[in-house]
Amino acid sequence: MSPRTAALKDFSLKRGGGECDRLQNRTTAPAPAAQRRPSADICGVKVNIISLNGLLDDAMARVEQRSPGYIVTPNVDHVCLCAKDPGFKSAYDGAFLSVPDGVPLLWGGRLLGTPLAGRLNGTDLVYAICERAATEGRSVFLLGAAEGIPGQAAERLRSLYPELRIAGTHSPPMGFEKSAADNAKIIALLHAAKPDLCFVALGSPKQEIWMSQYSEESLVPLMVGIGASLDFIAGNKRRAPRVFQKAGLEWFWRLCTEPRRLWRRYLVDDMLFFVLLARQYMERFSAPGRTPDAVVELEGDDTAR
Ligand code: UDP
């Protein structure tokens, strides 16, 4: 078992099964708007086919409804984790929207005959959502990353969107997920701040499992899992240049900047994605007469339900 999977197992077991199930079940009802959004199945993970404007509309509608939910931003790493870990997959399945953070998912969608609408990267989403939140008078809370980073990210966002209401920031200590007191503190902070949206920057699988367990209890209408985005926004880490992002090589940039931490993730664990994709392609197109065009038609009917 890899150290990440072991850590996830530990986290999944933190709450007794009954309570965890209860919390997860309470967060699985999708909003009507998101139900209408078509989706593609990429290696067993549901990915919505949605534009940035569509996502912003659905996000703000969700905030208006005041019914807690969360958005996940799948990349190759998340797809592999979903295949290996039922706890993570279940957290993923509870999301109200799932939007492609990683360019390889776009390749997968095209290969499988279910093209996605485009990449909606976590960091770009923070900027876009904050811009919309500022114009609609909605407030945001920044949760996660190392001490000082959420505050710096808040300053940067405030300088970009002066009307943006920052309801609060918090950097939980390392290992907080195993501490009932630390989790209670986060929930108390969120109850006091009453944000409309909360960006959760705890990395995967922690942030998705945390959102699935605490989204409802937090009473925050919408949470978004954003990985290392607060580091990028604060200027603590440098994001890959556009040319890398467009070519689907952001992972390579990150590997070069943090080789010790990320080599195993990108060069070993994530290879499973290509195996899963090849298997799904074979299953989908091995029947005579099934071409990508035929699949688009079939899935178009299915998602229109
Ligand atoms: N992080 C955190 N608490 C934790 C683990 C991680 O706040 O217990 C933060 C970490 O400081 C970083 C982000 O979560 O800002 C995770 O970054 P990573 O590169 O793993 O995320 P990715 O974008 O690859 O999902």
CA–CA distances in Å: residue 166 to residues 139, 161, 169: 6, 10, 8
Average of per-residue pLDDT values in the chain: 87
pLDDT value, residue 23:
35
How many angstroms separate the Cα of 143 from the Cα of each of 80, 146, 150, 203? 25, 10, 7, 11
Closest atom of ligand 1 to 174 CA is 8
Any ligand 1 atom below 6 A from CB of 231: yes
Cα 203 to ligand 1 centre (Å): 4
Using the predicted structure, report yes or no on whether residue 106 has a pLDDT greater than 90: yes
Residue nearest to atom 22 of ligand 1 (CA): 227
Rounded distance from Cα 305 to ligand 1 centre (Å) = 37
Q: What pLDDT digit, counting tens, does each position of 181-229 carry? A: 999 999 999 999 999 999 999 999 999 999 999 999 999 999 999 999 9
Q: What pLDDT score was predicted for residue 248?
A: 86
pLDDT at 291: 64
Pocket test for ligand 1, best of 142, 202, 236, 254 (most atoms within 8 A of CB): 202
Pick the atom of ligand 1 nearest to 202's CA: 14
Q: Taking the CB of residue 135, how many other CB atoms lie within 10 A of it?
A: 12
Indicate whether 122 pLDDT > 80: yes
| C-beta of 275 in contact with ligand 1 (< 6 A) | no
Residue 145: exposed, middle, or buried by beta-carbon count in 10 A (0-12, 13-18, 19+)? Answer: buried
Mean pLDDT within 277-286: 93
pLDDT at 25: 39
From the CA of 285, how far away is ligand 1's center (Å)?
Answer: 38
Residue located nearest, by CA, to atom 15 of ligand 1: 145
Kindly report which listed range (22-36, 56-70, 135-149, 215-229) carries the lowest average pLDDT score.
22-36
Spacing, Cα 95 to ligand 1 middle (Å): 19
Average pLDDT over residues 139-168: 98
pLDDT at 95: 97
Cis peptide before 172 (omega within 30 of 0): no
Residue 27 in this model has a pLDDT that exceeds 70: no
- Residue located nearest, by CA, to atom 19 of ligand 1: 228
Q: Which protein residue has the closest C-alpha to ligand 1 atom 4?
A: 202
